Amino acid sequence: MLLAAFIAAFLAAFFLAPLGLVIGRGFVYQDRVSFEWFQRIFTNEILREEFVNTLLLACAATGLSVLLGVPLALLRGRTRFRGQSLLGVLVLIPLILPPFVGALAIRQIFSQYGVLNMYLAHLGILDFRAAAPPDWLLEGGFWGVAILQTLHLFPIMYLNTSAALANIDPAYTQAARNLGAGPLRTFFRITLPLLRPGLFAGGTIVFIWAFTDIGTPLMLQYNRLIPVTIFNELKTIDYSGKVFALVFVLLSASVGLYVMGKFVFGRSIGAESSKASTAAETRPLGILGTLLAWVGFGSVVLIAILPHIGVVLIAVADEWTGTILPEAYTWRHLAAVFQDQATYRSILNSIKYAGVATAVDVVLGCVAAWLIVRSRIWGRGVLDSLAMLPLAVPGLILAAGYIILTVRGSLLESIGPLGNPFGILVIAYSVRRLPFMLRGVAAGLQQVPESLEEAARNLGSRPAGAALRITVPLIAANIIAAGVLTFSFAMLEVSDSLILAQRQVHFPITKMIYELFNAGTPQAVHMAAALGVYGMFLLGGTMALATLLLGRRLGAIFRA
């Protein structure tokens, strides 16, 4: 009970309290409670337009992620072909690069006079002399941002769909087929409705992520979005109520859409809860089918890792202006990351922040999961919802709350962005990633029979002892995998890092990359890319480790 109270208090202090502060601030105008700021927001066409843009962007990214992720998951889950496992791993590669780093490469490749158009001109398809070449990032880059977010996020959709697919009892589809339904009819009438909770789980993460992303739009310079406006206001420590009112609008929209989505799509269907009694029926593909599957998977993977390739090239390019590939290559920038005090320190800082945050999450996540799955204490449902809530609340909004929480003169000033943000970043990272940890551990707990623990207790062990000595070792793979993922996502966390780290000595990697983009020296862009390359290797390595440990159950972690 004390444990539950502790976790609840932690979440109340560092999740609910900052949210409450943010919400409260929006309702204050000239020291009075007022709707003034909201009135101004809703009567401002520019902000209204930004709001619509933000909504459309999230819809576009979610829609595109479904279009990419679901067919791939079906292909992998319902057919058998050579190299299937390899492709299953390759498709996760996009997750290892925060899209805001990839945006650098996207600019180099898809700009009006960028690599792609240079290549098309080289092939004779375009003629720069005859007409201005097409600008692939289009006006303002809405689609550039949507596509980049999609390429990063579709694996989450894929993982969720795969996991949901694995849980569908093949008896249902067999029954439908036996009753004369064709494959298409079976898919739309049986499989798709059963997939709905999985689609919702993945869709929610993708939607909220895209809805409140600041990194990608900032890098592609598509700034007509509410989150970017909030970020720009927060940068100046401008605590006018307007920015917090905007935060409230964003939060309400994101929570409102989540609830609505849950109501419409997420209702669990009676049949879904029954675990598959037999393995799903898979269809072997012939040579042509295998080839097509490879082309399908392969082209998606290739397009998705284009930004990664671009970032690596920028990191090793000596000079890259107006040519298809860099004119000369160098190791200088990759080495300089470790020679330059500021960049080197940012790596150490990130390891420190992410490491402690992961430790906090492992403890909190394990205890919370155990309480929720195993104990019978009162209010564990509330605890579960509370711990999962950070998924629905974007980093940007929490960061705004932490800013108020640590404002000068407050109790927590010393750990605020202007003091040493170690504490506040650790808290931010751990609160944001707690749901991953909780889901990962809970998934493991549900698969370990409680009778083992009961046996230990019968033999005289205390409940805590039994959990530690029996259950924890059995779910170690889950804990490690979720921990590893928590660590790497914390390493490459964007919104909190950008807002909460304001002194260069405390910059984590992501903030350093962002600062380098703005640094002005010609080599800074290359240095930023080099830091991004190290980030990719780190996240790639940890993802590989997590995949090895969890296999297909990896999807369980990315669920709402």
* Spatial distance between the Cα atoms of 236 and 217, rounded to a whole number of angstroms: 19
Q: Which is nearer to another protein, 104 or 546 (CB)?
A: 104
DSSP lists the bridge partners of residue 319 as: 328
- Select 12 or 309, whichever has its Cβ closest to another protein: 12
Q: At closest approach, how far in Å is the CB of 379 from another protein?
A: 14
Tell me, what amino acid is at 461? S
CB of 402 to another protein, least distance (A): 12
**Other beta carbons within 10 Å of 39:** 12
Of the pair 112, 299, the CB lying nearest another protein is at 112
- CB closer to another protein out of 142 and 154: 142
| Nearer to another protein among residue 153 and residue 525 (C-beta) | 525
The Cα angle at residue 381 between residues 405 and 366, in degrees rounded to 5? 70
Sign of CA dihedral 535, 536, 539, 544: negative
Q: What is the DSSP letter of 268?
A: P
Pairing of strands 317-319, 328-329: antiparallel
Tokens of 417: 């962005």
Q: State the chain's maximal CA–CA distance in angstroms.
A: 86
Q: Which is nearer to another protein, 41 or 554 (CB)?
A: 41
Q: How far is the CB of 299 from another protein (least distance, A)?
A: 25
Min dist CB 81 to another protein, Å, is 40
Rounded alpha-carbon distances, angstroms, from residue 510 to 193, 339, 483? 40, 18, 20
Residue from 444, 402, 425, 420 nearest 13 by CA:
402
Question: Can you tell me the distance from the alpha carbon of 425 to that of 496, in angstroms, rounded to the nearest whole number?
Answer: 7
Rg over alpha carbons for the chain, rounded to the nearest Å, is 24
The least CB distance from residue 553 to another protein, in Å, is 32
Phi, psi of 294 (to 5 degrees): -65, -45
Check if the beta carbon of residue 92 is closer than 8 Å to that of residue 543: yes
Distance, in Å, from the CA atom of 55 to the CA atom of 62, rounded to the nearest integer, reads 11
To another protein, the closest distance from the beta carbon of 528 in angstroms equals 11
385 or 504: CB nearest another protein: 504
Closer CB to another protein, 237 or 382, in the complex: 237
Closest separation in Å from C-beta 5 to another protein: 6
Please, what is the minimum distance in Å from the beta carbon of residue 117 to another protein? 8
